[in-house]
């Protein structure tokens, strides 16, 4: 499989793409709305959702350094790249018929392939087949664990209250939740055990945020 095939075979949600790029999902949406990125669409229920492939991710890594005219040429060249020809280390772009720019590809492609592999490994550690994302091999919801860490509980404390979980599983749950934000009522940001260890007086406060946003 050539690099371009490997990049194109991935289909990412915008939260997944934002996690890989370390950016805000809103920034990706703005790029799409400005016509500088052309996602594919998938039907989920009665709604259409945007999906990006690995070529889109490479482009998004590169585009902040260049003008809109150069970006369009970069994107068009990458999307039209022949599947039987490996990507080169660089790409020569001529924009507006006169501006010639050398675009370095090697690092952007390499980093993207590495991140996509990491994302596949992450997805493999979570079982979402039944509709609820569970940490694989357990009956613990990934979003529940992520809410605890995001709420300020140290990972070691989460593991204390969930002794069957490893640090890697907790970290995977946090990463998965960032790539797949939970819809609806959020989980509490503290466990009952952790609140009781602190005296119990903060139990109502610990769960109030979840009720307030329901």
Nearest to 18 by CA among 135, 179, 145, 210: 179
Which sequence spans correspond to the domains of the chain?
Answer: 3-120, 125-212
| Assigned CATH topology for domain 3-120 | Multidrug-efflux Transporter Regulator; Chain: A; Domain 2 (1.10.1660)
Give the count of beta carbons closer than 10 Å to the beta carbon of residue 141.
18
Nearest to 117 by CA among 205, 23, 9: 9
- Please say whether the structural domain 125-212 has been given the CATH code 1.10.150: no
Nearest to 176 by CA among 134, 117, 131: 134
Longest distance between any two alpha carbons in the chain, whole Å: 71
Q: Tokens standing for 49? A: 């959702």
Strand 99-104 to 126-127 pairing: unpaired
Q: Tokens standing for 204? A: 């109502």
Three-state secondary-structure class, residue 155: helix
Ordered per-residue pLDDT tens for the chain, 214 residues: 678 999 999 999 998 999 899 898 999 999 999 888 999 998 877 788 899 999 999 999 998 888 888 888 999 999 999 988 888 899 898 877 777 889 999 999 999 999 999 888 888 899 988 788 999 999 999 999 999 999 999 999 999 999 999 999 999 999 889 888 888 888 988 888 887 777 655 555 555 555 555 5
């Amino acid at each position: 499989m050539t690099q371009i095939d490997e990049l194109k075979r991935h289909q990412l949600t915008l939260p997944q793409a934002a996690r890989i790029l370390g950016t805000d999902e809103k920034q990706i949406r703005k790029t799409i709305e400005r016509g500088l990125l052309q996602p594919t669409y998938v039907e989920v229920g009665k709604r259409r959702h945007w999906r990006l492939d690995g070529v889109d991710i490479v482009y998004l890594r590169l585009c902040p350094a260049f003008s809109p005219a150069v970006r369009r040429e970069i994107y068009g060249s990458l999307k039209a790249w022949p599947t039987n020809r490996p990507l080169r280390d660089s790409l020569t772009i001529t924009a507006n018929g006169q501006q010639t720019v050398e675009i370095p590809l090697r690092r952007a492609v390499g980093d993207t392939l590495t991140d996509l592999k990491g994302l596949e490994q992450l997805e493999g550690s979570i079982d979402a087949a039944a509709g609820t994302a569970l940490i694989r091999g357990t009956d613990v919801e990934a979003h529940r664990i992520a809410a605890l860490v995001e709420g300020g509980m140290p990972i070691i404390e989460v593991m204390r209250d969930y002794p069957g979980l490893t640090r890697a599983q907790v970290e995977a749950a946090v990463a998965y939740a960032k790539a797949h934000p939970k819809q609806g009522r959020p989980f509490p940001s503290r466990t009952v055990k952790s609140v009781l260890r602190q005296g119990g007086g903060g139990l109502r406060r610990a769960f109030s945020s979840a009720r307030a946003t329901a």
